[in-house]
């Protein structure tokens, strides 16, 4: 904080913090808020410093007293952001974790109910992943999961949710796609992308994926049932030979037995 000496305190605050500080000062005598977090801009290098201001206010009949203490809380804010990331992100892949997935799915269904739209849930389970861990070790398996996560998330829209549920299980929540055919094509493209060779530590790995698809409100009207339907459809895909997708309670024209990936384009 030595670099901040002899500089105007207000001039060092960013625009938003400047407004917050002035409002806080003007209301301090009647407010119960005695602490305020602000952001300082260190002119040299334009570094941002998170600070916490604590104020003690007192007054007599003819005088007012204000003592202001400033403390650097940058490290604390970094730790808070890291803890928040750990609470919402999968530590290995950086995708949303199971807790965020459950929250997002519930919110998606509520929004879809209001807007009379559809939500598609894709449950993805890797085929033959256990053999990768057994043959090459968990280090290679973890690196493979990171690459898989990137391929699943690739080309997804900002409104879509991609999550790792644990182990080699992933999920994708798709919003506002009215045509079932498009949902199925998205699943097919994911399967096709995951089939490509992975080169990890001079090792070539090959895996596949089985995907179960459930659509709100056609297959289920709540999050719990939608998850069950997608999970059951995924196991049916595995039983049918793996490396394919299956629709939950789908009409025959939508059910897949084999896919020509070269002909599927979105």
Q: Decide if 168 is catalytic.
A: yes
Distance CA 251, CA 91 (A): 39
- What tokens were used for 19? 């407004």
- Based on the number of CB atoms within 10 Å of its own CB, is 114 exposed (0-12), middle (13-18) or buried (19 or more)? exposed
Distance CA 204, CA 33 (A): 60
Residue ranges of E strands in 77-206: 119-127, 161-166, 169-175, 198-200, 203-205
Contact 84, 178 (CB under 8 A): no
Contact 231, 170 (CB under 8 A): no
Q: Residues 66, 69, 72, CA angle at the centre, nearest 5°?
A: 155
> Is-cis flag, bond preceding 217, omega within 30?
yes
Name the residue with tokens 């057994």. Answer: 134
Distance CA 117, CA 131 (A): 40
Contact 151, 205 (CB under 8 A): no
- Long-range contacts, stretch 250-258, CB < 8 angstroms, 24+ apart: 250/180, 250/213, 254/180, 254/181, 254/184, 256/184, 256/188
Residue in 125, 160, 168, 231 annotated catalytic: 168
Cite the active site residues. 168
């Amino acid at each position: 904080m030595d670099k901040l000496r002899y500089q105007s305190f207000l001039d060092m605050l960013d625009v938003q913090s400047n407004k917050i500080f002035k409002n806080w000062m003007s209301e301090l005598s009647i407010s119960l808020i005695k602490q305020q977090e602000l952001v300082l801009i260190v002119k040299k290098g334009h570094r941002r410093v998170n600070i916490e201001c604590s104020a003690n206010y007192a007054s007599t009949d003819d005088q007012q007293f204000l003592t202001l203490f400033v403390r650097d809380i940058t490290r604390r804010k970094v730790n808070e952001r890291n803890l928040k990331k750990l609470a919402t992100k999968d530590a290995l892949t950086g995708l949303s974790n199971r807790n965020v997935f459950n929250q997002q799915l519930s919110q998606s269904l509520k929004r879809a109910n209001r807007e009379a739209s559809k939500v598609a849930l894709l449950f993805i389970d890797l085929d033959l992943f256990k053999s990768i861990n057994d043959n090459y070790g968990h280090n290679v398996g973890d690196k493979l999961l990171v690459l898989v996560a990137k391929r699943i998330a690739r080309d997804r829209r900002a409104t879509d949710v991609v999550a790792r549920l644990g182990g080699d299980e992933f999920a994708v929540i798709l919003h506002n796609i009215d045509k079932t055919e498009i949902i199925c094509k998205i699943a097919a493209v994911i399967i096709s992308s995951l089939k490509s060779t992975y080169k990890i530590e001079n090792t070539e790995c090959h895996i596949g994926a089985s995907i179960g698809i459930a659509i709100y409100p056609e297959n289920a009207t709540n999050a719990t049932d939608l998850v069950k339907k997608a999970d059951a459809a995924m196991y049916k895909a595995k039983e049918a030979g793996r490396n394919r997708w299956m629709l939950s309670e789908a009409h025959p024209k939508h059910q897949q037995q084999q896919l020509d990936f070269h002909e599927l384009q979105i």
